[in-house]
Amino acid sequence: MQESTFIRLCYVDDHVGLAMLRGLLEAEGIDFYVHNDSYGSMVVGPHIGLYNERSVMVAREDYPRAKELHEDFLMSMRDDEAEEKPARSFGDWLRMIAEFFLFGWFIPGRRSGRGSGRDSGEE
């Protein structure tokens, strides 16, 4: 039996997007796993590459099909988001700067997108 090598399909920001993407991949029978699945949701603060960021890894032979599913999923999510989100306010920036200097961490005021994950750009 040949061992599969896994490559990164995308990074995932929230639980809902991850659950939906998992459902799509499982329904299609695509071999995958989520790197930093449990640990990535425990650490509060900025997402840092291999430290606390969750990424979906798929088998190399399933990558083209998984990539197509992921892109279709992203397009359907974008179609649902017709309204444009406002930019961060001055108050948001001020709060983030104060948190960084006072506590050594920060949490961004608004999220840039709904749980669709972002493309890793790897092939």
Polymer length in residues for the chain: 123
**Whole-structure pTM value:** 0.57
Residue 50 pLDDT > 60: yes
Average pLDDT (10-37) is: 87
Q: What is the largest CA-CA distance in the chain?
A: 58
| CB contact at 8 A, 20 and 76 | no
- DSSP one-letter string for 31-93: -EEEETTTGGGTS-SS--HHHH-EEEEEEGGGHHHHHHHHHHHHHHHHHH--SPPPPPPHHHH
Q: Residue 41, Cα to own-chain centre: how many angstroms?
A: 11
Segments making up each domain of the chain, as ranges: 6-105+114-119
Average pLDDT (23-35) is: 91
Mean pLDDT is lowest, of 30-34, 98-102, 112-116, for: 112-116
Is domain 6-105+114-119 in CATH 3.30.70.790, yes or no? yes
Q: Render pLDDT for 63-99 as a digit per residue (tens, 0 to 9).
A: 999 999 989 888 877 765 555 566 778 888 888 888 8
Residue 25 pLDDT > 60: yes
